[in-house]
Amino acid sequence: MSELVDLQRAFAAHLRNPEKAPIPAGIDPRRMRIYTDLVFGNLSALLSDFFPVIRSILNDKDWRNLVRDFFIAHQAETPYFPKVSEEFVHYLAERPKVQSDPKFLLELAHYEWIEQYLYLHEETLPKAPIAEIDLLARPLKLSPVAVPLAYDFPVQRIRPDFQPNESDGVTTFLLVFRDITESVRFFELQPFAYQLFAAINENPGLMVREWLEDFSAQYATKDVTRFITSGFEMLKLFNQEYILAIKD
């Protein structure tokens, strides 16, 4: 049994890093090369599907190096293929900075991953929009398949012909959610809208009228009633997308 375990470990080590880990004794190098190329090719193809924008902006050499380093350096915590994208984001978050990496790489990976995460999430949408009269009168929570996000880079605009070298200092605020057609959608938010949805997300059961009143007082808003009304109108808009629910 010990010999079998040792062989399996040596086999796996060579698959991960064929340049440094020797081919296990007794295995035909040509067969081992087939296994190695097959495993790496499958992983590369899987990540290309999960992260199409990242793949499109990296040349072949940089992409292969990134996939290989992920394969070598990251200890995945799950064997499930749908979770590989999340593992890749964790890897990028923990990876030492590489000079050739775009500075937006981690944020772009998270942006591409969140779409898959919400699409595959087992939770369901609220059954119906909230009655408008309840939007400011009842404790609210976000749909379990909706999340507000903030990025230093405009990740939704990145593509081969738009790759900012530095952040322009303007935070990108997004609301990402799965809609009633099971599609994942992205809304770009103004800072105030982001703060409101972030508050609801972080504090399920939030009384929005009270939050709006406190926000208005904090920023010395002159017309509190008008401010609350504008917040209410925004809630009505997003409520039609099944983004909000009443917390029992």
Mean pLDDT of the chain: 90
Round to whole Å and give the CA distance between 74 and 214. Answer: 45
Is residue 135 located within the same domain as residue 97?
no
Sheet of strand 184-189, all strands in order from the earlier edge strand to the far edge: 146-151, 172-178, 184-189
Indicate if the pLDDT at residue 137 is higher than 90. Answer: yes
Is residue 120 assigned to a domain? no
Per the CB < 8 A criterion, the answer to whether 96 and 105 are in contact is no
Query: What's the pTM?
Result: 0.90
CATH number assigned to the domain comprising residue 35: 1.10.150
Are residues 6 and 73 both part of a single domain?
yes
Q: Which of 69, 101, 133 is the last residue of a domain?
A: 101
Q: What is the pLDDT of residue 164?
A: 96
Question: What pLDDT, on the 0 to 100 scale, is given for residue 168?
Answer: 92
What average pLDDT does the segment 151-161 reach?
97
Residue 119 included in any domain: no
Statement to judge: residues 87 and 134 lie in one domain: no
| Domain ranges, residue 93 | 1-101
In whole angstroms, give the CA distance from residue 88 to residue 76. Answer: 9
Q: Residue 36: what pLDDT?
A: 82
Question: pLDDT band at 3, cuts 50/70/90?
Answer: low
The count of structural domains within the chain is 2
**Number of Cβ within a 10 Å radius of residue 151:** 18
Average pLDDT (72-90) is: 86
- Between the alpha carbon of residue 193 and those of residues 37, 125, 129, 165, 216, the distances in Å are 48, 21, 19, 28, 13
User: What's residue 113's pLDDT?
Assistant: 98
